[in-house]
Amino acid sequence: MLSPNDCSHSPQTRFDLVQVKGAWTRQTEQRQVAEGKLSDAKIHEKKSEHGVCWTVISPIVFTYRVIQCQNILDPRNDTLLWGHLGDEELKGTVGNLKPVKRFIVIDETVNRLYGSQVKSYFESRDVVYKMLPLPTTEENKCMELVTKILEEVHDFGIDRRSEPIIAIGGGVCLDVVGLVASLYRRRTPYIRVPTTVLSYVDASVGAKTGVNFAGGKNKLGSYVPPVATFLDRSFFQTLPMRQISNGIAEMLKMALMKHLGLFQLLEAEGRRLLDTKLQSDGTNSSEREDSATASTRIAIETMLEELAPNLWEDDLDRLVDFGHLISPELEMRVLPALLHGEAVNIDMSFMVYVAHQRGLLTADEKGRIIRCMLGLELPVWHQDCTLALIQKSLQERLRHSAGSLRMPLPTGLGQAEIFHDMMEENILSRAYEEWTDELAPSGNKYSTC
């Protein structure tokens, strides 16, 4: 039997892979490639008295676009149909006489509001399309929904390389369709069109897909980014105010972790952003952005900065996990009482108190953060977020984090670090006591702010 040590300690030969006339062959790295196409992949070969060990190194590169645009459902706007393609790809596609086909999964609420516009868009462009409205809620986020979509996609028939599936809806819709696309023919391109603030700044711009399983949030999933995400804030006009606040929680997360300017903007302009539902006020020009444009742009840029180098979460030290240590357990326990962003904000609120107990935040900084949250109409405490739930959540996190808790915490306004030693019971218990004393409804010291 060949043992792992045989691969580790035996001399190895490194091979390049070169394609000539359709066939790939190995060549030692010392040989100069005279003709053919050189792959970035490598094969390392080690021989021992027990056998041969091959180690394959195959880089995988994903390229995807995130496009902010206006009036995406205007038939004169090419983005929804062709925005995922580069210029050269577009030239070849537009000249193709083959009918254009698109399969669209749309949240049933979004369908009631915008379905007729979506249909008009594709019909005006002579697209062969199928629209599938579905109740994409957290309660329905399961493999049964994935299977239903897969069956419909299969019956409709799409080219697995040139006819992307389009998801139009909130985060649940985008997550589920992403998982569908990663499974169908092992990987089919898909496009995300977020219609909620939360999905706009969070679910739409990364690579995660998933569904809930065994009572856990997003326990099943994959890392496959869309070929494109199209961002249009005009969808927010039909959202309830609570959904606006819910999404701004993820913007606040990025502000607290890494952008003082965004925090100051949310602190000063939060009420206006809520009242206008993040719509531009007409004051932006080439010299100055309005607050809605600036806040969403910064949220997207900071999110992409954190996600792009670590799409597969090979590095578990992630600032974007702030607010996501306790919230999954809390959200699933009280479902559907709390929206995702609301649960995240309660988690962030508690962690602000942990940071204060650790000496990372001053009392003034803590107060400014809590007042900002309240100004954005976000919950800062919940009766079901008990100390026992917090301890259980952190233990679960520890169990799945390679032996280290990895706790992102603010170390000031707009700056943060990741700590690995925050399991001290005295810090958690003191933070919980102060958090409850100050923010529980019976004694909320910030309730008049």
Instruction: Give the start-to-end residue ranges of the domains of the chain.
Output: 4-57, 65-90+98-238, 241-279+291-443
> Which CA distances in Å does 149 have to 42, 152, 164, 166, 422?
38, 5, 14, 12, 43
Cα dihedral 170, 171, 173, 177, rounded to 10, equals: 140
Is pLDDT at 396 greater than 50 in this prediction? yes
Give start and end residues of each alpha helix (H) in 308-421: 327-334, 340-358, 363-375, 387-399
Cβ-based neighbour number of residue 177 at 10 Å: 31
- Across 12-16, 62-66, 119-123, 402-406, least confident range: 402-406
Answer yes or no: is pLDDT of 109 > 80. yes
Residue type, 293: T
Percent of the chain with pLDDT over 70: 92
- Residue 449: the pLDDT is 42
Q: Based on the residue annotation, tell me whether 141 is a catalytic residue of this protein.
A: no
Average pLDDT over every residue of 269-288: 83
pLDDT in tens, 245-267: 999 999 999 999 999 999 999 99
**Residue range 229-242: average pLDDT?**
97
Please pick, among 208, 217, 258, 366, the residue that the annotation labels catalytic: 208
Give residues with Cβ within 8 angstroms of 180, minimum separation 6. 105, 146, 149, 150, 153, 165, 190
Residues 229, 204 contacting (CB under 8 angstroms)? yes
CATH number (3.40.50.300, 1.10.150.650, 3.40.50.720, 1.20.1090.10) of 241-279+291-443 reads: 1.20.1090.10
Q: How far apart are CA 147 and CA 163, in angstroms?
A: 20
CA distance 245 to 196: 10
Contact call for residues 188 and 181 (beta carbons, < 8 A): yes
Cα 240 to Cα 196, 277, 389: the distances in Å are 10, 9, 30
- Residue 173: per-residue pLDDT: 97
Strand 51-57 relative to strand 37-48, pairing: antiparallel
What is the chain's length? 449
Please state the pTM of the whole predicted model.
0.90
Non-local CB neighbours of 389 within 8 Å, separated by 6+ positions: 326, 329, 330, 333
pLDDT digits (tens, 9 = 90+) for 87-107: 778 766 666 768 899 999 999
Q: What is the mean pLDDT of the chain?
A: 92
Omega into 336 within 30° of 0, i.e. cis?
Answer: yes
Classified by CATH at the fold level, domain 65-90+98-238 comes out as Rossmann fold (3.40.50)
Q: Which residue has the higher pLDDT, 61 or 9?
A: 61
Nearest to 382 by CA among 430, 339, 412: 339
d(CA 346, CA 246): 11
CA distance 236 to 79: 19
